[in-house]
Structure 1
Amino acid sequence: APPTEMSLADIAQTKADFVNTARRSHELGIEAVELHAAHGYLLHQFLSPISNHRTDAYGGSFENRIRFPMEVFQAVREAFGGTLGMRIS
């Protein structure tokens, strides 16, 4: 099936999933997490004007395209007690 645009509910759920995964990682003793916003993975798809054709607050300008990756980063940072990085390329 061809890819479809994520709904705002999908975006909120995905952000919550990142947070829950980071929280569980911390509980298991993981000391560092890297969010992968490169190589065509989901966060990269939001960043790229090639794949992101949204017309809402998550598409168009660079400021809008980076919104979801930054929301994920900030939410994970609040939930995860260790070192946090983000790979962007």
Structure 2
Amino acid sequence: SGVSVGVTAWTISYDGVNGLVRREEVEKAVTLVMGGGQEMVEIRKQAKELGAAMKKDVESGNSSEAKLIALINELKAVKQGATTRDKFNGE
């Protein structure tokens, strides 16, 4: 469920036709969003639930934060010429 508008396949186009979202697709999505109805109530509910879950995932002290900090530290070490493997090997 959800509002879908977009390109379904990546293409390279020189004629300006391929890869465009058709007017009918945009109209359908806008009508769905603006029209409300039970489907939009469900979409909004799912969006709120997803937002709450994402907020919880990035709160201080959880594993996502720790993994992000570890990634940042690893990138800093690589930039400085040392990798985690070097550190473990005593180099």
**TM-score, normalized by length of structure 2?**
0.26
Larger proportion of helix:
2
- Which of these two proteins has the greater Rg computed from alpha carbons? 2
Larger relative contact order (CA 8 Å, sep ≥ 6) = 1
Larger proportion of strand:
1
